[in-house]
Amino acid sequence: MFPKFRAVGYNFVSYIYTEIQQLDIDPWCNGLTVRNAAGAGGADVIFQGERIPPGVSIAIGGNFGEVIRGRVDLSFDGAGARLCVIRQKFYINPPFDAPPA
């Protein structure tokens, strides 16, 4: 017998950061995009040790049923404007019953 199908939904949330900090990832996060939204001459974003120049973004995606967990480090390098936008995609009806421990 096949398992019961469970409909899965997603939602998105975006946050803007201008300061060095540690960030908590949503426990149901399935993917995220980190964008350095500073204009020309802006500071580089350092996300988990990866340098992102102004105007560039990186995406971290998950397969169905996977979640991204933990805390991440966000910092900036350079004297220009600091502007980082992080968009998280998260389950609103996850394919499993409880967030991973």
In Å, how far are 29, 31, 57 from 63, measured between CA atoms?
11, 9, 20
Q: What gap in Å lies between CA 71 and CA 80, rounded to an integer?
A: 26
Q: Give the whole-angstrom CA distance, residue 36 versus residue 20.
A: 14
Q: Is the pTM of this model over 0.95?
A: no
Domains of the chain as residue ranges with CATH: 10-91 (2.60.120.10)
Share of the chain above pLDDT 70, in %: 86
For 77, phi then psi, to 5°, come to -135, 120
N-to-C CA span, the chain: 29
Q: Tell me: the pLDDT tens digits for 54-94?
A: 999 999 998 887 888 889 999 999 999 999 999 999 988 77
Pairing label, strands 44-47, 10-17:
unpaired
